[in-house]
Amino acid sequence: MAPQHRSARRESHPQSTTETRCRQIIAQGLTARGLTARANPATFDKNHRRAIITPTPQRVAVITGASSGIGKAAAALLLGAGWRVIAQGRDPTRTAAANADLAAACKDGARLDMLTADLSLMADTARLAQQITALTPRIDALLCNAGGIRAQQHITGEGFDATFAGNHLGHFLLVHRLFPLLAAAAAARVIATSSSGHQVSPPCDWSDPQMRASWESSPAYCRAKLYNILFIRELARRGAGHGIIAHAMHPGRVASNFASHGDPTLQSYMAANPSDPPEASAATLAYLAADAAPGRSSGLYWHDKAPVSPAPAALNDADAAQLWAISEAMLARVDQPVQSIVAPAANPSTD
């Protein structure tokens, strides 16, 4: 039976403008805790009267945005549970520092590989996928956590709005390029870090999906966070027949460097309100990657280790399919075509 949904908690805001409402919703947050590990199975050899330990293959996680914040904290949790973690950061200096910190978290044979790439650049994302493919033949959990907000609009050299590309399109490409590795694992997880900001996203306008003509900092971010949930919803549908489980999560208001890239109003709002440490939200991210319970469902939106109800716009299957098609077309235009993930056809009835 699918988990029962509970409504996400919302705050009332005196301001009415979309920009101000987005800033405030972005900053909402609660606390999450805990991580469940698994034991290795064993069988019994009746002839020799001894237990035969059948080792579970070391589970492998790929985590984007792992040089700081909840991505780094989630990497530490999984490394502490003995996982192999392939982590990505954008800034070389911060990534190198995270590598040193996370190496100390390794336990029970855990292994860490730290890679540098900019997910707002599709060529760089494709290179990252190649590096990951060279490191492992399978991926048990892909945590699409990288993202952020920008104070000013920036168009990349490939012609994409950086907020759109860094929060959505780069992960869309990465999931496709790593899909064979995900399919090689049993019931692999793809988890996207979204935000309650999706609740106040401007309506999807497929004539301008990147908001190029009407760009504002917080609305552009909120729209990208809506795209995260729509992408996961469609991936859950397409990937189910391939053994893929997909979920999105709201991390809450986190004490990280997130606001440092936003405009002064957002920075002031974040500074004036209490935030949870990254480890609190990272616990939910690691829970979705490692625990058995989230593996019994797919396509849900989570907070504090429980499914919650997203905004109605995030449940629009037509928009989810449209976003998928538009994203494929965008990648093809920059010479990064992907092989579309297609739900296997149902077997014809034999009745």
List, by residue number, the catalytic residues.
221
Asked if residue 143 lies in contact with residue 302, where contact means CB atoms within 8 angstroms, the answer is no
Q: Which two tokens stand for residue 40?
A: 């290795």
Bridge partner residues of 191 (DSSP):
143, 247
Residue 325: CB atoms within 10 A of its CB come to 12
Asked if residue 152 lies in contact with residue 221, where contact means CB atoms within 8 angstroms, the answer is no
Displacement of CA 326 from its chain's centroid (Å): 20
Q: Please, is 74 exposed, middle or buried when counting C-beta atoms within 10 Å of its C-beta (0-12, 13-18, 19+)?
A: buried
Backbone angles phi, psi at 108, to 5 degrees: 55, 45
Q: Amino acid identity of 314?
A: A
